[in-house]
Amino acid sequence: MRRVPSALSIAGTDPTGGAGIHADLKTFQECKAYGMAVVTSVVAQNTKGVQDVWHVPLEMVEKQMKAVLEDIRPNAVKTGMIATPEMIEKVADLLDGQDIPLVIDPVMVATSGDSLMEQESTSLMKNRLMPLAHVVTPNIAEAETLTGLSIKTQKEAEQAAKMLVDDMGASAAVVKGGHFTGDATDILYVNGQIDYLTAPRTDTNHTHGTGCSLSASIAAELARGNTIKEAVTNSKTFISQAIHDTLGIGKGNGPVNHWASRLKKDDILV
């Protein structure tokens, strides 16, 4: 019998497979963790945008989480889209005290610009979820909403990362620089130290699900027993390859290539 680490995603759906739990499960598999998923919201979306959202009733979110947790103890958990204040509270209550490494991707807006979180959720995200986070992974806009800072420079992104940890209680923060210009530089703040993780920017609009996939990779790496710094560094390599080796799927902002690192030329259909 083989033993593998397991990782759980608590997030919304994307029927085109590029973002949300679909991206998370693909990433867990690629990053060698057994993948599990609790659905928070069913989202009718594609690479062009979000058409509709249906929130799973609270008691069903709770039942899904309990079904997993009473049977299989995940080695790491990640949260993605948790849209309403009530759902944030419920998820936080169920994760509090579990002592499982937790990655929080504070999903607020899709790549298409459509909102995925109610505005009233921000304070609960800050007060209830953030203190439970081993790693929180906002993009620039999300970091601005959480900290109230205006982030135009990397120094300001550093300041936001420090606030998320020193003032809001996360153990580590990665402020992602995907929406800056120039190299794709993410700022990691952990153990009182700032690190810059830089990759060349790929000239593409196929970035649907980049944030989901990066945070899922960090969760899988933590599940495998890596330190936060190792997990974030390895995940940066994973996402950079997945963005660079683009698939060209969909009519809008297409998904990343989760199996880029092992895809051979012959596997590509033309």
Ligand X SMILES: Nc1ncnc2c1ncn2[C@@H]1O[C@H](COP(=O)(O)OP(=O)(O)O)[C@@H](O)[C@H]1O
> Which residues sit at the interface with ligand X, rule CB under 6 A?
139, 176-179, 184, 186, 199, 201-202, 204, 207, 210-211, 214, 236, 239-240, 243
Between CA 215 and CA 221 the distance in angstroms is: 10
209 is catalytic: yes
Among 6, 13, 46, 246, interactor with ligand MP5 by CB under 6 A? 13
Number of residues near ligand MP5 (by CB under 6 A): 19
- DSSP letters of 192-246? TEEEEEEEPPP--S--BTHHHHHHHHHHHHHHTT--HHHHHHHHHHHHHHHHHS-
Catalytic residue among 20, 35, 80, 209: 209
Report strand pairing: 193-199 vs 76-79. Answer: unpaired
Taking each helix axis from N to C end, the angle separating 154-162 and 140-147, rounded to the nearest 10 degrees, works out to 50
211 is catalytic: yes
Catalytic residue among 12, 18, 80, 211: 211
Min separation Cβ 107 and ligand X, Å: 7
174 binds ligand MP5, rule: CB under 6 A = no
Tokens of 267: 């596997």
Name the phi and psi angles at 12, rounded to 5.
-90, 180
Among 76, 82, 107, 243, interactor with ligand MP5 by CB under 6 A? 107
212 binds ligand MP5, rule: CB under 6 A = yes
Contacted entry of ligand X, ligand MP5, none for residue 202, CB cut-off 5 to 8 Å set by kind:
ligand X
Residue 93 makes CB contacts below 8 A (sequence gap 6+) with none
Min separation Cβ 210 and ligand X, Å: 4
Does residue 86 sit in helix, strand or coil?
helix
233 is catalytic: no
Active site residues: 176, 207, 209-212
